[in-house]
Amino acid sequence: MTSPPKAALLEEFATIARAMSAPHRLAILEQLAQVERGVEALAERIGISVANCSQHLQQLRRAGLVASRRDGNHVIYRLTDDRILVLMDQIRQVAERNLAEVEAILRGLSGGEEPPTAMDRDDLERALAEDRVILLDLRPDDEFNAGHIPGARNAQLDALAGAVRDAGGRAIVAYCRGPYCILSDQAVARLRAMGLTARRMAGGLPEWRADGRAVQSV
């Protein structure tokens, strides 16, 4: 029989799991991993009502996953802990290994082929220093301007050819928001269909920043 202290501890752990059990809440965490935002901006990005977004944020705040501050008449939200990024990535990894549906979705993003292995961030940092790769940031302009990997080029899916026209035999590495963002997967598939060598970076801008690596803003 579970002791009262153990039961209480498990209940608190379950609070975290419940807070992350809704797709919209995972989307909110992904957005806040890029830059702190107000509820209106979050609701617009995710495509839900402000009232619904506020309810999700309250669940995340009760679980200690987000914190807030006032900026005039606005309430601005942020992640409380970089380890939330690790937890999000672990969820993706467990899902990839154990849910056939996830594997099928990711394979579909790669045109039915096995996607190439993601590039380790240490290896990418060395390759950038040696000018051996072109690095593409697939996030929207405002996220790129708020912070990006030095040397990265902001590129959209419908303009990839122009972004890499000077590749000159260099490999191309793409990144976006983190473990749940599929923009880099889509970009890699399109670049490989063009006959170019491409792969995505392991993680995204938030993981790069959490490593303590340099980030540049516009």
How far, in Å, CA of 31 to CA of 176, rounded? Answer: 11
Could you confirm whether 176 is annotated as catalytic?
yes
Q: What is the dihedral of CA 215, 131, 179, 164, to 10 degrees?
A: 110
β-bridge partners, 37? 77
Q: Phi and psi dihedrals of 208, rounded to 5?
A: -60, -45
The one catalytic residue among 57, 124, 135, 176: 176
List, by residue number, the catalytic residues: 176
